[in-house]
Amino acid sequence: MAEIRSLEELQTPDSTALIFTPFGLGGPMPAERSAEFLQGMVADCGLASDVAEGTRREFDRLQRLFVYGLLDYDVFTVVDDRALLVMEQALRERFLQWYAGAVTFEDANGLEPPKTEAVGTYDDVLAAVKKLGRRNRRRSRQQPSPQWQLKVGTTLIAFNGMLAGLRTWARAAGLLRGQRTRGIEHAMSNLRNAVAHPTGYHRTTPVETARTLHDLAELVNQLWGHPTPGGRLYPAPVERDIVVMAWNDEGSVHMAQADALRDDTDADGYLYLLIRSGSRPGSRYEDAHWAAFDSRFETTQFPADYLWGPGSRSDALAWLDAKQPKGDTVNYVDRVFMLREHDGQLYPPMHPEVAAGLAKEERHGAWYTVRADFPEHAFAHVRGLNGSPDAHARVGDCRNCPAHQLGSGSHEQALRAAEDAIGVIVPRRPPAVGIPDSLFWPHRF
């Protein structure tokens, strides 16, 4: 029989919740300070104004309930579990909005004409899927069966109405993006399935629950076309500024805002280079390979464009004042890279426009076209193709790394695969300029 507690006892803070502080585990914090801290953990994860009302109200409720974990620590687990279920609700509501009242299924085998079903609720969608499945079962064993697939724009996908099918639909519709997040979406789906079909007792910390709410907010906003500035899963485009890089023969490399050229501190033996980059001093985007810039290869984690150099500080400043280049914004997820393998050596990824501008003698070897968020992911995927034959996919999404292989073969074949993905490619050939002595990307051509 459950214990009946007094109102005073119900209002007493849970001592377990009080040990979570802004500085990690410690405390206990005063209850008033803990209440403020907990609310602040989820205050900045909101939904866009055009998100469906059902999803919005569910999310708002979870955001409000989160702080009540201060009074009962198990509330954090309840909120975390419910948030994973709201993920599927959001996908269902976005599906209905996207199709606007009618879904079409086509027979991939071409045996029957397309079927269009009116749908007002998601139960109607599930009923349409089941009806097509029953039609298949009524056919005799001697007759070939139609293979019904959901039409998504000009694409057909297998669709059973469940969570995995909804994720596939959202990807095919271009609503979810990023290669790294494919794996995260899969993990979130597995967690959701564990919540829907529990096998034991579990508890979740407020830190984990706050992360789940932030991830849910990012996913929901992305479904409605709103990437998250500085987001973990579906980031908005990166702002890039003009920066200067300087290095000498002793291996010293520096980066600064371009205006630093106006400081009259010219150092002996340094060369200067101007680029457009998101990884500038003070940026939120940390780039582990910022010092490996190369004008022809994608060697920095975030996109960086060559502008001028190398040369002296005074010449760099003169060019900067004459041209007055501006910053911009650039999307860094789902980029398309081309990689060359020749004489047993795999070279760093290249932008398709740069690969298209290579001289004839630089096009020899095997080429791979890969969609990835970061150059090192594309490189690791292609390198992995030479390992176990089943470790990495040679076509489509790779299940073992955040990459999608678009094509391979000769330079012409790989370039054609890139054009199919991103459209017309205009060849360009920047000067061969790079920071020397990169440990991560030592091989160039």
Give the confidence band of 436 by pLDDT, cuts at 50, 70, 90.
confident
CB distance 76 to 16 below 8 Å:
no
CB distance 259 to 283 below 8 Å:
no
Q: How would you classify the pairing of strands 148-152 and 155-157?
A: antiparallel
403-433 per-position pLDDT tens digit: 999 999 999 999 999 999 999 999 999 999 9
Chain-centroid distance of CA 341 in Å reads 27
Q: Determine the Cα–Cα distance for residues 420 and 173; give it in Å rounded to an integer.
A: 17
Q: What is the DSSP letter of 294?
A: B
- Closest by Cα among 316, 333, 334, 313 to 325: 316
The overall average pLDDT reported for the chain is 93
Q: What is the pLDDT of residue 265?
A: 64
Cβ atoms < 10 Å from Cβ of 226: 19
Q: Is the pLDDT confidence value at 387 over 80?
A: no
How many H-runs (helices) and E-runs (strands) does the chain carry? 13, 16
| Mean pLDDT confidence for 163-172 | 97
Count the alpha carbons within 13 Å of 161 in the hemisphere toward its beta carbon. Answer: 18
Give the confidence band of 100 by pLDDT, cuts at 50, 70, 90.
very high
- Element spanning 397, H or E: strand 396-397
Q: Determine the Cα–Cα distance for residues 99 and 177; give it in Å rounded to an integer.
A: 19
146-156 per-position pLDDT tens digit: 889 999 999 99
- Closest by Cα among 91, 35, 63 to 210: 63
Q: Determine the Cα–Cα distance for residues 174 and 156; give it in Å rounded to an integer.
A: 14
Task: Domain ranges for the chain, please list them.
Answer: 10-97+176-223, 100-162, 237-332, 333-445
∠ CA(139), CA(141), CA(144), 5° rounding? 70
